[in-house]
Amino acid sequence: MSDRRCSGLVLAAGASARMPGRSKLYRAWADTTVLGAVLRCAAEANLEPLFVACPAAHPEIEPSARVTVVGVSPANPGRATSLAAGLSAMPAGPVVVLLGDEPGIRRTDILTLVTAWADSPADMARIRYGDRPGHPVLLGPAARERARMLSGEVAIWDTLLEQGLESVEVAVQEAAPIDVDSPSDLRRARRRLAGNGGRA
């Protein structure tokens, strides 16, 4: 494969159950918000078009020329439901999936993933950090079509593997971005950001 153009989908429809008060996605992060940092990184990695799956009833992000918002109904919650809703609204082609609560995502991680996938025969790819596998995940046409049929809180990667899709894991040495689920997670993530001189 040689075409490295991918669209981007940010999953941002979680309930923020462990973050008291305002949604974790709109907490301050450097000069933006947690979600804003993810969107900025996706744009810097040239993911286009860029979609965000967020709660239909309480979307706090305004659609723009750069970002298309997809509302997710709370009737059937779960990461797979958000993924399917976003994929169904997007144009055809490979998609890089990011999590809206990982503001420490790096542009280089996305670019490394896209390049490795484009140079392989795999249907899907994901990053394996120095401490664990994680996002971003890239879904090619076959993987994307299967993922669009999923719903609820299922293990998306494992479920697609069980369906026989070929995959590749792309190793990077850095630690995985911190999932900002709770106030303590946010403090840890901010400390890491400060310790790296403002680079997540």
Tell me: the pLDDT tens digits for 120-136? 999 999 999 999 999 99
Whether 200 is in a domain gets the answer: no
Whether 169 is in a domain gets the answer: yes
Whether 2 is in a domain gets the answer: no
**d(C-alpha 138, C-alpha 33), whole Å:** 24
Q: pLDDT band at residue 18, thresholds of 50, 70 and 90?
A: low
Mean pLDDT score, 23-45: 92
CA 116 remoteness from chain centre: 18
Tell me: the pLDDT tens digits for 36-76? 999 999 999 999 999 999 887 665 666 566 899 998 876 66
pLDDT of residue 4: 72
pLDDT of residue 15: 67
Mean pLDDT score, 137-142: 95
Q: Which domain CATH number covers 25?
A: 3.90.550.10
Whether 197 is in a domain gets the answer: no
Domain residues for the domain of 128 are 7-192
What is the pTM assigned to this prediction? Answer: 0.91
pLDDT of residue 111: 96
Q: In the chain, count of helices (H) and strands (E)?
A: 6, 9
Number of Cα atoms under 13 Å in the Cβ half of residue 70: 23
Q: Is the pLDDT of residue 152 over 50?
A: yes
Whether 1 is in a domain gets the answer: no
Number of structural domains in the chain:
1
- List the Cα angle 118/122/125 in 5-degree steps: 75
